[in-house]
Amino acid sequence: MTTTPAGRRSAGRIIVTALFVLLTVNAFKEVFWSDSPPALRALQAIVAAAGGATALGAWIGARWSAALALIYGLIAGGMVVSLGPMLEMPVEERGGLWIGGAVILVFALICAWYLRRATRRAPIDSGSAAVD
């Protein structure tokens, strides 16, 4: 397994950070510059906060960034699924919302897996441990 020097971010962490920054900006835009119902704006604000925290965690290499990526996926996926009743969509038009919510959740799970792998502490080398 290749490790990067201290202070240097891997390409994967930079990509995950950039993706979550873009998702955060989009959700933030929806909070203030859209004509969405208030409940949807509130959910977008929560999504923006979770996405921003995930981006920050990924950037600094925090171990909790993987958990926040998962939380982001649960909130954003749930928000997409709830759009049908919230926007009073006909039942026959709501099928794609479940698929969209599932895709968001899968994306978040993949990012959480990667961040967990990228931010895990290096295992202790048993050969370098001092024996009393």
pLDDT tens, position by position, for the chain (132 residues)?
455 555 688 999 999 999 999 999 999 999 999 999 999 999 999 999 999 999 999 999 999 999 999 999 999 999 999 999 999 999 998 989 999 999 999 999 999 999 999 998 644 444 545 554
Is residue 51 within 8 Å of residue 20, measured between CB atoms? yes
Contacts of 63 (CB under 8 A, 6+ apart): 119, 120, 121
Give the rounded distance of the alpha carbon of 49 from its chain centre.
10
